[in-house]
Amino acid sequence: TGPIKPTPLIGVLGIKDKTPFLSVSPNNDDYLIVIGDTKDELGGSEYFEYIHRFIGGVCPRVDFTDSKINMLAVLSLIKNKLVKSVHDCSKGGLSIALSELSIFGNIGCTIDIEKIPCEENLSSEKILFSESHSRYLLVINKKNIEKVNHILSKKKIAFAVLGKYSGDQIIIKHKSKNLVKFRIDLAQKRYFNGLEDLLKHG
């Protein structure tokens, strides 16, 4: 396993917000939107640590102005009941976040990363695994997609419609090229039985 990375702990007291908690899983024909910029920030990432066994690189930095703008935009969509589900895009990056939505919703998705807001000439690898802050994945009912598009465009939010939910596979493309393709049932098995596999096989 290894040592625990430095982790800040923050205690907060306040009045409970009565806004309903979003926990609705995606359904067939729902849309997936990403909000926020993806940057060349793989330093300290899960990808570097577990795939490349490398510690280093450029760590994610918070742009407090963009962070506030993105957060308020998401809260506004939630308040107006235009969002079915929201997922943070942090540990493991975009690839893990969208996989978790499909795994827990038991439904596949097909997305294209070409239009993702990101730094120029960023590789597919970095787009999928960068852990840049202030990003959100939103599940939107198809009846609300045009309205959400209009609101985010009017607010000049960095966002992109990635694709739709359907089928039993997660398919990630860049233009017409398939980058990733795997079945939901196999992903669920690895996700939910990870500890058991580790104890059995090391």
Residue 59 forms part of a structural domain: yes
Quick one: CA torsion of 113, 124, 189, 138, rounded to 10 degrees? Answer: -30
Residue 1 pLDDT: 57
Q: What digits encode the pLDDT tens for the residues 101-151?
A: 999 999 999 999 999 999 999 999 999 999 999 999 999 999 999 999 999
**Beta-bridge partners for 195:** none
- For residue 57, give its domain range: 31-201
Residue 15 forms part of a structural domain: no
Number of domains in the chain: 1
What span, in angstroms and rounded, lies between the C-alpha atoms of 113 and 175?
8
Packing angle of the helix pair 145-154, 64-79 (nearest 10 deg): 150
Residue 82 forms part of a structural domain: yes
Residue 14 forms part of a structural domain: no
Residue 21 forms part of a structural domain: no
Nearest to 33 by CA among 79, 121, 97, 76: 97
Residue 13 forms part of a structural domain: no
Contact by Cβ (8 Å): 104, 188: no
Q: Look up the CATH number of the domain holding residue 181.
A: 3.90.650.10
pTM of the predicted protein model:
0.86
Q: What digits encode the pLDDT tens for the residues 16-47?
A: 777 666 777 899 999 999 999 999 999 999 99
Residue 20 pLDDT: 63
- The answer, yes or no, to whether residue 61 has pLDDT greater than 80, is yes
Name the average pLDDT for the chain. 91
